[in-house]
Every structure is written in structure tokens, then in C-alpha cells.
Chains A and B, each alone.
Chain A
Amino acid sequence: MTSPSRLRALLRQFGQTRRDLGMAVACRMAAYFVLRRMIGRDHGAVGLRRHGRRGSGCTGYLTGVWTDLARRDAFCAPEPGHRRRPRIALIGDLNLPQCRKYRVEQAGAFWRAQGAALDFAHFEDVPRAVALLQQATHLMLYRLTAGPQVSMYLYEARRLGLPVLYDIDDPLFSVPAYATYGNMAALDDAARAHFMAEAPGYLDVMNASDAISVSTPALARHAAGFTRRPVFLRRNYADPGTLAFRPPERGTSGVTFRLAFASGSRGHEADFARIAGPVTSFLRADPARRLMILGHFNKSRLPAAVRGQVEWHRFTDYAGYLARLAQADCAVLPLGNDLFNRCKSGVRALDAFAAGCPVITDPVGDAVSVVEDGETGFVAADLDGWQRALEGLASTPDRARAMGRTARARLEERWTVSGPAPAHVADPELIRWVTA
């Protein structure tokens, strides 16, 4: 309600305005005042006028800002000159849980340990991603292909003077890797063609960046053939979230031996098919043996002879996944020897070690850097090697448990980062590139 005294004051103002500026102006100002009151708004500061207009869409989110800053001769904002703790804005594709854990959330812990802060946003969350850029000293793009949004982020990063690091953990930029990837057989022609067609887009973004970080030495070597940018190694390791899991003592049950095969995404049936023979023989030798399959798997691709000895567990969160792994006596990591798999990291071995579980792996990918043959598991050179490793562990359960304990201990000794990163986890040049 407007008090009588205020109403009188407003009427006096109207009269004064009419005398000074004329009836038309006075009426226009009065109408504006009434409208503002009706919608419950008050006047802002004098001169605080609206800039930009909504409706330009996500990819044009910053167009109005850029235009206004350019017209004010304030477009470029060089990297902040004052003392700043490095602060990385990580914008990436966060849709794959295991990728998010190891390359995004773990990156936060990793860079904190190196003295840098890291905030992350999914690339489709444009307002958050743009907001992070404003207070960042570096941009890190993770696993992104070319597109209008990525171009916008790169443009904004250049406006802000931010160095750009591109991080990737699979050879998504590589047609040769896709063309020879055994797991692609599980996909239809259209899906295969899609992945091939996407590869140049990933490379475009890599080459639009200033430096590249990858998860394995093999991937680093392969990437170096596609770009002149420096390629740094930043391996996956056991972060505090992984180490927080403490493997329980294994209880006794009617099961004599349980091996685990984990699949975090579709297409890994082809990996399992490599060892279907030795695993089938192993299971058939003792009806009390079990195969645990964790995550995504097409049941029709499993040999009929072993289906009765299979325990199925749906894809779950990380803690649930480790808890399942901890019930196994051994984890199996079969990988076909192709270019794509040679670039893979050893995260599934790290997960198994965290659960106190020894690992049998093919001599493919970076898992061989994690598994010490005969100490924390076995590197099986061929199918006979798989057979011997499985039977050897099953026949000496005490040794299998001891290997699991050793695996956990090695994980804590060698595959953690609580301060300056060891050189086998991250290239010192990468640390300097961000923190110097």
C-alpha cells in the first residue's frame, strides 16, 4: 500500500516533471513507475542497463558477451598476472562412469596434490563450464570431439589467455585403432562407421590445444604420430576414493573358487571370448567354481556350458563394484592384441588390487605395468598360460590370498599419489607445464 504522504509526494513529482519536461514525458515516466510496482520490481542503479539478449542458444551463449566486450575494447583478458594458485577448468564428456572416476574426479585429487585446484563440468552444461573458465588459469578438455560448444570453449579460453590441455584415455582420434579394434565386431556397420567418422573431430580438438595428456605410454606414442603438440603421460592410479575401500576377510562358502570378469561398457564380450576356452575348462573341472560377470555383458555370447556356474551382477557404483570384486579369488583381464587395446590403461587391475584380488591378464595394454607376474597375479602369454594360471591359483588358495594381499600392498606403495607425483605416474614436464 502506498501511504497518503508518499502518494502526495508522487503527485508532486508528477507535477514537477510535467512542468519541467512536459505532459508526455511525465505520463511516460508515471506509466513506467506503475508498471514496475505492479510486477514487484524496483529501479536498479542509475545506468545499470540491460546488455545482451536471450535466445541465442547454447552454442551462442557467449556471443553477446564477446560483442559487448569487443565494443568496449575489453575483449582480451590475458591470463591473470597476479600470484594465483593454478586452477584448472576441466570440461569433458562425463557420461562414462569409469572415465569420470579416473580422468575427471581423480584428476581433481591428482592436481590438488601437485598444488593446483581443479573444477570440472560436463561439456553440455554450458553455463557451468563457462563459469569455471572465468576463474581458471588453465583449460583442460577431456575426451571431447569437435563441435560448436567445444569451439566456444576454446575461443573463450583464448580470450582469457588460458593454456589448453587436452586429455584422452582411448585412441578415439585414431582410424587405424578403430579399424583394427576387435571389440568393434560386436557393433553394427552404422556404429562402426560412426566411430570412424568421429575420429578426425577428436584430433581437431587435440591439435587446437597446446598440449596433450594421455593415460598410457602406448597411447602417448600413438598420439605423437598424429600431432606436433607435446604429449604427456598421466597414468591412472589408486586415488583416495579407491584406497578407502578395505577388502574384507573372505568368508567360507560352498564355492571353491570365484573368478571375476568386469565390463564397464558394451563390446567386451569379444575380450572374454579370447579366454572362453580356458575358463570353460576351468569351470567344468569343478562344479563349485564360479564365474562372476560384473557390468555389461550379452548373455547370449557366453558359452552355454558354463552358464549354470555364472553369477551375474548388474553395473553398479564404484564402491559396489569393489565390494563384488572382493568376493572373487581372482580377476581376469583378457585383451585382444590390437592397437586400441594396446593403448588401454591398467585400471581394472588397480580396481582388483584395491579389492585384494590377484589378476590374470594378457600381455596387452598397461595392465602389464601393474601386474607383477607371479607376485600379484599372472601375465598369461597364451591360452595355455591362462589355463595354468587359473588352475595354479585354484589349487593353492592360500597363495592366491597371499597374492591378493601383496597386490593391495603394492597398490598402496606404487600406485598412489599423495604429494609430488612419481615419474611413472605422471611426466614431470606435465606438472611443470601446469604449475610453473
Chain B
Amino acid sequence: MTDRHILICNVFFAPNTYGGATIVAEEVARALRRQTGWQVSALSLWVRDDLLPYSVTRSNVDGIDSYLIALPPHRRAVEAYANPQVAEGLGGLVDALAPDLLHVHCVQDMGAGIIEAAVSRDIPVVLSVHDYWWVCPRQFMIRPDQTFCGQSPIDPRACRACVPSMSGLRTRQGLLMRQAAMADIVTYPSHFALDLCEASGLVPGRGVVWQNGVHPPGPTFFADQKARRAVDPRLSFGYLGGPARLKGWHDIRAAFSGLERGDFRVTLVDGSTDGSWWPDHQFDDLPGDWQVRPRFGQNDMDSFYAGIDVLLFPSQWKETFGLAIREALARGIQVIQTDSGGTTEHAGRDHMRLIPIGAGPGPLREQIEAALEIGQTIRAPIPVTRFDDQAAEFAHFARALWGGADGKVSPRPAPARPATRRESRDTAA
């Protein structure tokens, strides 16, 4: 079994890392290698003007061969979901590498044809849905006016204002549904995402919930946190979402501007690759001590979390997971969050008051004031899925597809066992 080989497809992958789903794809890949000894390779994209379009470049990061397809800078809109040249590149790679399984993550701009390319070569496929790309042409169910769409299930007839062409939308939807149906297993990071996507027609009955993992705190995390608290007794808030209304920035600003005390710190993370999120923003008119720090990677996240006591997550849309919330909970950090879809499916939700989406800054200010009243406290970490757990579960899926005795997921053509769904605790707004 140790000579198994998994080929991962994700729009980004190290050395071209970007976004939360990429973190998941990379970390699971590394954990899978560690745990099973299986070989893992990755296929991702980069846009290049200096290479022959769709040529492949091999790199290697942490023992994982990373193949990058060179996309031309200018592409047609349809190629974001149907790109036969990427599918051909994947097919050539499958022929050369002979992987035992294709794991399809976020494939916007790759196109869904890679699934068929693998299936036609008798390679089992696990499709991992991380956002709404498979059911929403705008990927995140965010309307052009930057408000959450809120359909549940999605009715394409209501998407007219969001798309250039209804005919194009129908074409896209039909193609993606057909391709997804070829996957042996479809995973979702949350019950919320599973329910919404399946209700919207994405391979009903074949989905399973496969929660994303996070890295646990490092060995010095709690000592670092304690040392910081000893030096500075002020409560410290952290926010990762950027200056976007959808992420709740405007509520955060309004909530803090109404406070009558200033004995706290706020750290804003600039998650952009070019440091462009915060330079135009002024915080002089806000109480407290505000600072901006650059984005961090998986290796140095503890330095951020050791510096905060409360994570602010006032997202104004129904997200599929919420990696930062789990990272914070695993470190005993208080989370103030909205009732935002899959972000709430964790063991800490019973001990917090979820803020309704669209409630405005008032409820957020109340929770901030309450936290300030309590001050710095030691909270027990809340158990969350770790990347090692997530990788182990994936190995279980894979062995099932290969006919292992311990697997319970049936391979194609019989649909995988339906997910054991909990009662849906969320409905789209």
C-alpha cells in the first residue's frame, strides 16, 4: 500500500500558494505523506506570458512534486469552467504518473473536464467542494453589489442579475453537474455546504462531510501568549477578514467607534499578497491601539494568535467553513462570530452567542464590551479537527475506493453512502 500515488488538483499549490482552500490541500497532502508514505503530486496553475500556453513545469516543495500549467494571460470566460487544454494537460500527466487517485479541490480556471480526463483513464476521483463554485458562477454566492445571495437551494432562474447570460449559466450548470457526477465521492467542509449544494442539484446523495483541519498550537504557543499578557494586560482583538463589507469590517469599525474606553489593542492582518488591504485606512479616530501586520503562513500563525485574546469574525455571508475560527478555538482564543453557515459547526458554538447576519454593529459592540469587562482570561482550547485527522479520513476514503477492507464508501458507479446529516442548523439568509 505504501506505493500508492495521489494526484491533487487545485488552482493554487505550493510554490504558488494562495487562499484557505490551498492551505487545506497542501497541509492534507503533507500529512497524508507523513502518515501513509504514499506519494503525492499536485497540479495547479500559474499565469505566464513567457511560456507556451498550457505547458507544464515541474517543481518540488517538501517532497511533493508540483506541476504547474501555464495559463495564458487572456482567456475566455467559458474557460474558467471548461478548458479542454487543461484537461488534456491533466490527462498527459495521468498517463505519465499513473496515479491511483485524483483528488480534485478548487478547480476554478482549471475547469471541470479534469474529472472526465481521469475517469476515462479509470482513475478514481474524490471531489472536495470548498466553496460554491460548482453551483454559483460567482463562486461565493456574493452578488455584484457585494451582498450575500442567500438562496437555498439555488434556483438559477434567480441568477439573472448576476450573470452576463442565462444561456451561459445553463451551459455552465449542466456541464459542471455532469462532471461532478463522475466523481466517486464528493466531500464538503460542513453540513451547511453539503445541504445547500446537494439541494441545489450537485450530485445529491453522494456527498460526505469532510471537515477541514488546522495545525494545533506549537509547543511554545501558550508560553508566548502568557508572556505577552504579562507584559501588556490590555485585551487584544484580532481580525483577518480585510476591509470588506462582506467580512464585516464596516460593523467592526462602527462597533469600536462607539466604545467609550480605549484600553485594548486591535491587530488587523493584511492578507493580500501585495500589502494593499490597509494602507489607505486611518484608525486615528478609533479608540484603542490599532496596528496592521502582514499576512502569515502556516508556520508562523502562532505568532499572530499568541498576540490576541479575541478573534473577530463578523462575516456577513454564509461561508462554507472558516479556517481561522478553528485555528483560534484550538488555541483557547475567544471567538466573536456571526451565524455564518459552516463557520459555526464546531464544538465551541454552544458557548457563544452567534450574531445574526445583517444585525449591524450593535450586537458586535455588546460582545466586545462584554469581553473587555472580563479582560484577559485563560480559556481551554476547544477540540477541532487537525490536518492529521483530516488526512487520516481521506486515507479512509481512498482505501475504500481501492477496495480496502476498512472503507465504507462505495466507489462509482454506485453512489457513495449518503452523509449522516445532522439536522441542519443553518439556513441561508
Does residue B146 face the partner (Cβ distance < 8 Å to A)?
yes
Question: Beyond A48-B47, A69-B15, A74-B66, is A13–B58 a contact (Cβ under 8 Å)?
Answer: no
Does residue B395 face the partner (Cβ distance < 8 Å to A)?
no
Chain B residues whose CB sits within 8 angstroms of the CB of A10 once the complex forms: 144
Cβ contact within 8 Å between A13 and B45: no
Question: Beyond A45-B11, A69-B59, A134-B57, is A16–B146 a contact (Cβ under 8 Å)?
Answer: yes
Does residue A248 face the partner (Cβ distance < 8 Å to B)?
no
What distance in Å separates the Cβ of A228 from its nearest Cβ neighbour in chain B? 30
Interface of A is mostly: loop
List B64-94 residues whose CB lies under 8 Å from chain A. Answer: 65-67, 71, 73-77, 80, 92-93
Question: Beyond A3-B160, A41-B76, is A50–B49 a contact (Cβ under 8 Å)?
Answer: yes
Cβ contact within 8 Å between B56 and A134: yes
What distance in Å separates the Cβ of B104 from its nearest Cβ neighbour in chain A? 15
How many residues of chain A are within 8 Å of chain B by beta carbon? 58
A142-B389 Cα distance, complex, nearest whole Å: 50
What distance in Å separates the Cβ of B69 from its nearest Cβ neighbour in chain A? 10
Chain B residues whose CB sits within 8 angstroms of the CB of A160 once the complex forms: 58
Does residue B143 face the partner (Cβ distance < 8 Å to A)?
yes
| Residue ID in chain B nearest A37 by CB atoms | B164
| Residue ID in chain A nearest B137 by CB atoms | A42
Question: Beyond A9-B161, A45-B109, A74-B60, is A52–B48 a contact (Cβ under 8 Å)?
Answer: yes
Does residue B237 face the partner (Cβ distance < 8 Å to A)?
no
A8-B49 Cα distance, complex, nearest whole Å: 36
Chain A residues whose CB sits within 8 angstroms of the CB of B48 once the complex forms: 50-52, 64-65
What distance in Å separates the Cβ of A335 from its nearest Cβ neighbour in chain B? 42
Does residue A252 face the partner (Cβ distance < 8 Å to B)?
no
A84-B163 Cα distance, complex, nearest whole Å: 45
List B41-57 residues whose CB lies under 8 Å from chain A. Answer: 41, 45-52, 55-57
Does residue B16 face the partner (Cβ distance < 8 Å to A)?
yes
Cβ contact within 8 Å between B76 and A40: yes
Which of B41, B50, B162 lies in contact with A82, CB distance below 8 A? B41
Does residue B299 face the partner (Cβ distance < 8 Å to A)?
no
What distance in Å separates the Cβ of B24 from its nearest Cβ neighbour in chain A? 15
Cβ contact within 8 Å between B49 and A53: yes
Chain B residues whose CB sits within 8 angstroms of the CB of A49 once the complex forms: 47, 273
Question: Beyond A6-B162, A41-B76, A82-B3, is A52–B51 a contact (Cβ under 8 Å)?
Answer: yes
| Residue ID in chain B nearest A76 by CB atoms | B60
Chain A residues whose CB sits within 8 angstroms of the CB of B280 once the complex forms: 21
Cβ contact within 8 Å between A51 and B46: yes
Cβ contact within 8 Å between B58 and A135: yes
What distance in Å separates the Cβ of A89 from its nearest Cβ neighbour in chain B? 11
A48-B273 Cα distance, complex, nearest whole Å: 11
Chain A residues whose CB sits within 8 angstroms of the CB of B19 once the complex forms: 46-47
Which of A12, A20, A135 lies in contact with B250, CB distance below 8 A? A20
A81-B76 Cα distance, complex, nearest whole Å: 37
Question: Beyond A5-B160, A82-B5, A87-B96, is A48–B45 a contact (Cβ under 8 Å)?
Answer: yes
Question: Beyond A2-B164, A61-B50, is A134–B15 a contact (Cβ under 8 Å)?
Answer: no
| Residue ID in chain A nearest B50 by CB atoms | A52
Chain B residues whose CB sits within 8 angstroms of the CB of A74 once the complex forms: 14-15, 59-61, 66
Cβ contact within 8 Å between A9 and B144: yes
Does residue B18 face the partner (Cβ distance < 8 Å to A)?
yes
| Residue ID in chain B nearest A66 by CB atoms | B57
What distance in Å separates the Cβ of B67 from its nearest Cβ neighbour in chain A? 7
A146-B217 Cα distance, complex, nearest whole Å: 54
Which of B11, B49, B51 lies in contact with A127, CB distance below 8 A? B51
What distance in Å separates the Cβ of A272 from its nearest Cβ neighbour in chain B? 46
| Residue ID in chain A nearest B140 by CB atoms | A46
Chain A residues whose CB sits within 8 angstroms of the CB of B92 once the complex forms: 135
A160-B145 Cα distance, complex, nearest whole Å: 47
Does residue A285 face the partner (Cβ distance < 8 Å to B)?
no
Chain B residues whose CB sits within 8 angstroms of the CB of A413 once the complex forms: none
Chain A residues whose CB sits within 8 angstroms of the CB of B50 once the complex forms: 52-56, 61, 63-65
| Residue ID in chain A nearest B138 by CB atoms | A43
What distance in Å separates the Cβ of A412 from its nearest Cβ neighbour in chain B? 32
Chain A residues whose CB sits within 8 angstroms of the CB of B245 once the complex forms: 16, 20
| Residue ID in chain A nearest B6 by CB atoms | A82
Does residue A130 face the partner (Cβ distance < 8 Å to B)?
yes
Chain B residues whose CB sits within 8 angstroms of the CB of A12 once the complex forms: 144-145
Chain A residues whose CB sits within 8 angstroms of the CB of B161 once the complex forms: 3, 5-6, 8-9
Cβ contact within 8 Å between A44 and B80: yes
What distance in Å separates the Cβ of B329 from its nearest Cβ neighbour in chain A? 26
Cβ contact within 8 Å between A42 and B67: no
Cβ contact within 8 Å between A135 and B93: yes
A12-B147 Cα distance, complex, nearest whole Å: 10
A73-B59 Cα distance, complex, nearest whole Å: 10
What distance in Å separates the Cβ of B85 from its nearest Cβ neighbour in chain A? 13
Cβ contact within 8 Å between A77 and B60: yes
What distance in Å separates the Cβ of B20 from its nearest Cβ neighbour in chain A? 11
Does residue B352 face the partner (Cβ distance < 8 Å to A)?
no
Chain A residues whose CB sits within 8 angstroms of the CB of B74 once the complex forms: 39, 41
List A1-32 residues whose CB lies under 8 Å from chain B. Answer: 2-3, 5-6, 8-10, 12-13, 15-17, 20-21
What distance in Å separates the Cβ of B150 from its nearest Cβ neighbour in chain A? 14
Cβ contact within 8 Å between A9 and B143: yes
Does residue B378 face the partner (Cβ distance < 8 Å to A)?
no
A339-B76 Cα distance, complex, nearest whole Å: 60
Chain B residues whose CB sits within 8 angstroms of the CB of A40 once the complex forms: 76-77
Cβ contact within 8 Å between A52 and B49: yes
A85-B55 Cα distance, complex, nearest whole Å: 21
What distance in Å separates the Cβ of B62 from its nearest Cβ neighbour in chain A? 9
Does residue B97 face the partner (Cβ distance < 8 Å to A)?
yes
Does residue A301 face the partner (Cβ distance < 8 Å to B)?
no
A66-B8 Cα distance, complex, nearest whole Å: 23
Does residue B179 face the partner (Cβ distance < 8 Å to A)?
no
| Residue ID in chain A nearest B3 by CB atoms | A83
Chain B residues whose CB sits within 8 angstroms of the CB of A3 once the complex forms: 160-161
Does residue B383 face the partner (Cβ distance < 8 Å to A)?
no
Does residue A78 face the partner (Cβ distance < 8 Å to B)?
yes
Chain A residues whose CB sits within 8 angstroms of the CB of B190 once the complex forms: none
Does residue A191 face the partner (Cβ distance < 8 Å to B)?
no
Cβ contact within 8 Å between B51 and A6: no
Residues of B within 8 A of A (CB): 3, 5, 11-12, 14-16, 18-19, 39, 41, 45-52, 55-61, 63, 65-67, 71, 73-77, 80, 92-93, 96-98, 106, 108-109, 143-146, 160-164, 243, 245, 250, 273, 280
Seed contacts A20-B250, A52-B51, A68-B46; 6 additional CB < 8 Å A-B pairs:
A41-B74, A48-B18, A61-B51, A72-B15, A77-B59, A83-B3
12 contacts between A and B (CB under 8 A): A9-B161, A44-B75, A45-B80, A48-B12, A50-B49, A52-B49, A56-B50, A74-B59, A77-B58, A134-B58, A135-B92, A135-B93
7 tightest A-B CB contacts, nearest first: A42-B77, A82-B39, A74-B15, A72-B15, A127-B52, A12-B145, A52-B50
